[in-house]
Amino acid sequence: MPRGHKSKVRAQKKRRQARNETQSVQDVPAAGAQGGEAPSCSALPGDDAASSSAAGLPQKSQGAPPTASVADAPSQKGSGKGAKGRKPEKATTSKPTRSTESLVKDLLMKKAGMVMHYLLYKYKMKEPMLKAEILKIIHKRFRQEYPEILKMAADRLELLFGLEVIEIHPGCGTYALVTKLDSSNIVLSFSGLSFPMNALVMPLLGVIFLNGNSASEAQIWEFLSILELYDGKEHIVFGEPRKFITEDLVKLGYLLYEQVPHRDPPSYEFRWGPRAYTATSKMKVLEFLAKINDTVPSAFPTHYAEALREEALRAQARAAARRYAAYVCAEGCKAKSSPSAPQ
């Protein structure tokens, strides 16, 4: 076969393949405007930057991202000299394209975001949550993917709000949200609703911890935008996000919001508040981050070492407090048992 004909056949094959991939994605309906992408919770154990990225928690800059390798560049062979007088074919793979599987996964996550909003709204309004209504929201074309979408939404509700999705009567398609409480969880109240400690507070404390125990406003808003919380945009649970993080959580003692000295223009940063230190610890926050990344705390080596040091200091403080309490008790017993002084 002549070289020019081979080149033409190859080019036509590439174009057909690209059209087929695009069509397969377009066959799936687009998500609604209220659905948003969730932070990925897949585990990337190893260094701190990788693990925090998996959790959707922004860290201080670790440098520029790697550029594409030479091997990723499209081949120009057979596109220059083939058919006489024909212009070279434009490379169809000049930029790496996302696979169909990745695009479909993103679409399912957007549908899960829509379901999460629906469940939160019903929870706030104290109304029943029905499978039939959820199917209308995500479109009947996604009936087969319904269990996966519901699980995605349930995982996000547990992560961000400490709420568990339960089916009231198995098989009837009626759901409810309940708080997952244990002895270490402190209940917070927002908008007249109750949420455990990890209702956004733990993720925020995680962002601060991963950024050297202080996080700039830009880092906090970058994280909140992943959770679809935007400055000036009312949220169904937390209200106006800026007021929530700079006033409500500050008044409750979970966060400190302070101006950075000697900065022009003025800038602010967030730190742990006094109540955060009594309600939780760096090790507990690290365990929370490890759980959502399906890994272990030691996957964050630098922060794990810091958390261990804090645990040791806390243990020493508790031991000192016990010794002091024992000393006071002993002295009190001595005073009671000794004879009274003569008058």
The CATH number for 106's domain is 1.10.10.1200
How far apart (Å, rounded) are the C-alpha atoms in residues 147 and 326?
A: 57
Shared domain for 198 and 260, answered yes or no, is: yes
Contact of 271 with 258, CB cutoff 8 Å: yes
Task: Assign 149 a pLDDT band (cuts: 50, 70, 90).
Answer: very high
pLDDT of 326 > 80? The answer is yes
pLDDT, residue 130, reads 93
Same structural domain for residues 161 and 211? no
- Residue 163 belongs to domain spanning: 99-180
**In this structure, is residue 12 part of a structural domain?**
no
Minimum mean pLDDT range among 168-172, 191-195, 288-292, 323-327: 191-195
Tell whether 110 and 174 lie within a shared domain: yes
pLDDT (0 to 100) of residue 302: 94
Examine the domain organization and report whether 174 and 105 are in the same domain.
yes
User: CA–CA separation, 54 vs 202, rounded Å?
Assistant: 16
In this prediction, residues 78-88 reach a mean pLDDT of 45
Q: What is the pLDDT of residue 155?
A: 86
48, 301 contact by CB (below 8 A): yes
Task: Answer yes or no: do 226 and 156 share one domain.
Answer: no
Amino acid at 120: L
Domain identity same for 171 and 229 = no
- Of residues 267 and 184, the one with the higher pLDDT is 267
Backbone angles phi, psi at 309, to 5 degrees: -60, -40
With a pLDDT cut of 90, the percent of the chain lying above it is 29
Predicted local distance difference test score (pLDDT) of residue 56: 56
Are 230 and 259 members of one domain?
yes
Domain boundary among 280, 315, 332: 280
Tell me what pLDDT residue 327 has. 81
Taking residues 267-295, report their average pLDDT: 90
Mean pLDDT value across the chain: 74
Last residue of a domain, one of 161, 180, 199: 180
Residues 266 and 196 reside in one and the same domain: yes
Could you tell me if 195 and 274 lie in one domain? Answer: yes
* 235 or 57, higher pLDDT: 235
Is 194 part of any domain?
yes
Encoding tokens for residue 109?
Answer: 């996550």
User: What is the rounded CA–CA span in Å between residue 133 and residue 139?
Assistant: 10
In a domain, 38, yes or no: no
Q: Are 221 and 166 found together in one domain?
A: no
| Domain tally, the chain | 2
> Which one of 222, 251, 280 terminates a domain?
280
Q: If you average pLDDT over each of 7-16, 130-139, 324-333, which comes out highest?
A: 130-139
- Would you place residue 260 in the very low, low, confident or very high pLDDT band (cuts 50, 70, 90)? very high
pLDDT band of 318, cuts 50, 70, 90: confident
Q: 245 to each of 12, 30, 48, 74, 189, how far by Cα in Å?
A: 55, 33, 25, 48, 14
**pLDDT of 100 above 90:** no
- pLDDT band at residue 317, thresholds of 50, 70 and 90? confident
Average pLDDT over residues 224-245: 85
Residues 6+ apart with CB under 8 A from 219: 58, 59, 60, 207, 211
Indicate if the pLDDT at residue 246 is higher than 90: yes
Q: Are residues 204 and 173 in the same domain?
A: no
% residues pLDDT > 70 (the chain): 64
175 within some domain: yes
- Does 170 reside within a domain? yes
Residue 41 resides in a domain: no
pLDDT at site 264 = 86
Is residue 52 in a domain? no
> Which CATH number is 256's domain given?
1.10.10.1210
**Per-residue pLDDT band at 140 (split at 50, 70, 90):** confident
Q: Could you tell me the pTM of the whole model?
A: 0.61
Q: Does some domain include residue 304?
A: no
174 and 207 in a single domain? The answer is no
Choice between 167 and 28, residue whose per-residue pLDDT is larger: 167
